[in-house]
């Protein structure tokens, strides 16, 4: 089945994630236009030469008719993508419901939603049933395309039930699972009604990966305390079968950012921005508009800084770029208006006829515009209340080799483990501490900035996305070989 090629050259990697890395727009009954999104995962896997990646996931659109499904499947095949078709009801219950309303807030320490906690166990039950059903649908597609020797890499909290479904199909399948969010303390995970079933399903994988050692430790504790299994330095053991658990901190394709700075269009953009903000220090926030990113707290800290440092008021500007996500969810709509309200108040309070202290944009920026912004920034503010890793902090560092700006980073982002020595670490809940850090960053001398930047730049350019993917997959291959040796002994 390996088409006669040496395994190392030809090993196929089936990457299974909730969303395919494409956006699909229907142009006619049987025609689709596709736009491939060059996110972190895509560039990570493109850079890895040892295996050939195929993507399996939902295309993000409802396609109820067979003609449309066939046409989309064909168009996606050219991009090495294989669709899982989910209907509207499943998407509502599985994706909006169980994934985004239950697991996402819980894993970021925001707890379970009130209404589910109080009474509507029925809605919790039906969302969990839809979650399992959706995971089974992903498994069906994987199983259909799986060839002996393939590696199957499942991604994120959407697919915690998938490893079990896959192993039920074929116990020899090499299955890895990686979580992009934090895995919370076992005391938090314990509150989840389906806590045991989810842990057991994940444990069906051969290798389970997290961004940090702490998340891996929390997961092992959850398995020992909730399931009564044995935790070992390698992972979790259940009746002689070991599931390997380890930390694999993600990185970015740093070269892509560094190269972008040489593109004439980006340089032109940098010139324009410098002109536009001449005489002022530029502070930058780039986030998805999500509760976990701590955007209101960040803006309030900036207000406090302006309040306490009047001499800086006309010498600094905060650019906050916040891409709206999950716009149909009421909490996210509330967050948007809350942020608008605070920004309006601060601009009213500290703005002049010619300048305002905060520029807030509710949208996504294209890659080149984003690189230019990173490059002209003096101080980046990443104040997530919790964040699996946070790639914005890495991208900022990659674009700062000329300027050597300062990174203010939440201690609750996974990135604090890797960029902590170069960044100014803050508790984002402590507005006064963040305000003081802003002052410290703006006043930092060039020698210290250079020293801190160097530390971070070396990290970001060595621990890249490619390295992350390679390490995970080779560890998965090794884990399976070791398990085979153990069972033979």
Q: Which residues bind ligand ADQ (CB under 6 A)?
A: 40, 180-181, 250, 286-288, 321, 323, 364-365, 370, 387-392, 395
By beta-carbon proximity to ligand ADQ, the closer residue of 11 and 390 is 390
Mapping DSSP to helix (H, G, I), strand (E, B) and coil, where does residue 291 land? helix
- Cα distance between residue 481 and residue 386, in whole Å: 36
By beta-carbon proximity to ligand ADQ, the closer residue of 103 and 229 is 103
Q: What's the min distance (Å) between Cβ of 462 and ligand ADQ?
A: 17
By beta-carbon proximity to ligand ADQ, the closer residue of 379 and 392 is 392
- 225, two tokens: 């305390």
By beta-carbon proximity to ligand ADQ, the closer residue of 86 and 373 is 373
Q: What's the min distance (Å) between Cβ of 447 and ligand ADQ?
A: 29
Dihedral sign of CA atoms 257, 259, 261, 263 in order: negative
DSSP letter assigned to residue 263? S
By beta-carbon proximity to ligand ADQ, the closer residue of 393 and 436 is 393
Provide the angle, in degrees to the nearest 10, between the axes of the packed helices 391-398 and 367-376.
70
Strands 241-247 and 207-210: parallel
By beta-carbon proximity to ligand ADQ, the closer residue of 40 and 57 is 40
**Residue indicated by tokens 């969302």:** 127
By beta-carbon proximity to ligand ADQ, the closer residue of 183 and 302 is 183
The alpha-helical segments, DSSP class H, found in 30-98 are 40-46, 66-77, 88-90
Q: What's the min distance (Å) between Cβ of 365 and ligand ADQ?
A: 4
Q: What's the min distance (Å) between Cβ of 336 and ligand ADQ?
A: 13
Q: What's the min distance (Å) between Cβ of 296 and ligand ADQ?
A: 16
Provide the angle, in degrees to the nearest 10, between the axes of the packed helices 391-398 and 446-462.
110
Q: What backbone phi and psi angles, to 5 degrees, belong to 444? A: -65, 135
By beta-carbon proximity to ligand ADQ, the closer residue of 71 and 373 is 373
Q: Which residues pair with 24 in a beta bridge?
A: 34
By beta-carbon proximity to ligand ADQ, the closer residue of 173 and 205 is 205
- Cα distance between residue 465 and residue 230, in whole Å: 32
Residue 176 contacts residue 472 (beta carbons within 8 Å): yes
By beta-carbon proximity to ligand ADQ, the closer residue of 375 and 391 is 391
Q: What's the min distance (Å) between Cβ of 207 and ligand ADQ?
A: 17
Q: What's the min distance (Å) between Cβ of 302 and ligand ADQ?
A: 18
Q: What's the min distance (Å) between Cβ of 265 and ligand ADQ?
A: 16
By beta-carbon proximity to ligand ADQ, the closer residue of 135 and 410 is 410
DSSP letter assigned to residue 18? E
Strands 151-155 and 81-83: unpaired
C-alpha distances in Å from residue 140, one per residue of 66, 207, 286, 335: 18, 21, 37, 37
- Cα distance between residue 109 and residue 118, in whole Å: 18
Q: What's the min distance (Å) between Cβ of 130 and ligand ADQ?
A: 23
Q: What's the min distance (Å) between Cβ of 392 and ligand ADQ?
A: 4
**365-403 burial string, b = 16+ CB within 10 Å, else e?**
eeebebbbbbbbbbbbbbbbbbbbbbbbbbbbbbbbeee
CA dihedral 345, 423, 409, 350 (to 10 degrees): 0
- Cα distance between residue 285 and residue 299, in whole Å: 10
Q: What's the min distance (Å) between Cβ of 25 and ligand ADQ?
A: 19
């Amino acid at each position: 089945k390996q088409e006669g090629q040496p395994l190392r050259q030809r090993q196929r990697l089936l990457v299974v994630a909730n969303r395919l890395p494409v956006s699909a727009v229907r142009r006619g009954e049987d025609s689709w236009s596709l736009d491939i999104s060059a996110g972190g995962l895509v560039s990570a896997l493109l850079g890895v030469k040892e295996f050939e990646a195929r993507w399996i996931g939902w295309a993000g659109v409802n396609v109820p008719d067979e003609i449309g499904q066939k046409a989309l499947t064909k168009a996606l095949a050219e991009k090495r993508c294989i669709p899982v078709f989910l209907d509207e009801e499943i998407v509502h219950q599985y994706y909006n419901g169980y994934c985004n309303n239950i697991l996402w807030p819980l894993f970021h320490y925001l707890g379970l939603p009130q209404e589910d906690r109080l009474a509507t166990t029925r809605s919790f039950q039906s969302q969990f049933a839809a979650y399992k059903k959706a995971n089974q649908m992903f498994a069906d597609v994987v199983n259909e395309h799986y060839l002996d020797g393939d590696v199957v890499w499942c991604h994120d909290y959407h697919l915690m039930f998938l490893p079990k479904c896959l192993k039920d199909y074929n116990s020899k399948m090499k299955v890895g699972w990686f979580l992009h969010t934090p895995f919370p303390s076992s005391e938090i995970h314990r509150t989840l009604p389906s806590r045991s079933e989810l842990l057991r399903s994940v444990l069906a994988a051969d290798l389970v990966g997290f961004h940090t050692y702490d998340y891996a430790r929390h997961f092992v504790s959850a398995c020992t305390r909730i399931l009564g299994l044995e935790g070992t330095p390698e992972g979790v053991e259940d009746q002689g079968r070991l599931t390997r658990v380890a930390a694999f901190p993600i990185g970015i394709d740093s070269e892509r950012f560094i190269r972008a700075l040489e593109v004439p269009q980006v340089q032109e953009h940098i010139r324009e921005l410098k002109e536009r903000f001449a005489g002022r220090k530029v502070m930058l926030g780039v986030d998805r508009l999500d509760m976990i990113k701590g955007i209101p707290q960040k803006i309030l800290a900036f207000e406090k800084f302006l309040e306490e440092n009047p001499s800086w008021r006309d010498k600094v500007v905060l650019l906050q770029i916040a891409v709206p996500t999950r716009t149909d969810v009421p909490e996210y709509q509330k967050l948007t208006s809350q942020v608008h309200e605070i920004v309006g108040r601060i601009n009213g309070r500290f703005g002049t006829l010619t300048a305002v202290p905060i520029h807030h944009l509710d949208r996504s920026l294209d890659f080149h515009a984003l690189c230019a912004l990173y490059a002209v920034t003096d101080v980046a503010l990443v104040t997530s209340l919790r964040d699996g890793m946070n790639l914005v902090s890495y991208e900022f560092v990659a674009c700062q080799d000329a300027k050597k700006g300062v990174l203010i980073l939440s201690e609750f982002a996974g990135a604090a483990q890797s960029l902590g020595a170069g960044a100014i670490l803050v508790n984002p809940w402590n507005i006064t501490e963040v305000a003081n850090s802003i002052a410290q960053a703006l006043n930092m001398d060039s020698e210290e900035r250079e020293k801190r930047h160097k530390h971070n730049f070396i990290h970001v350019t060595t621990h890249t996305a490619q390295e992350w993917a390679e390490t995970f997959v080779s560890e998965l291959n090794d884990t399976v070989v070791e398990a085979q040796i153990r069972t033979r002994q």
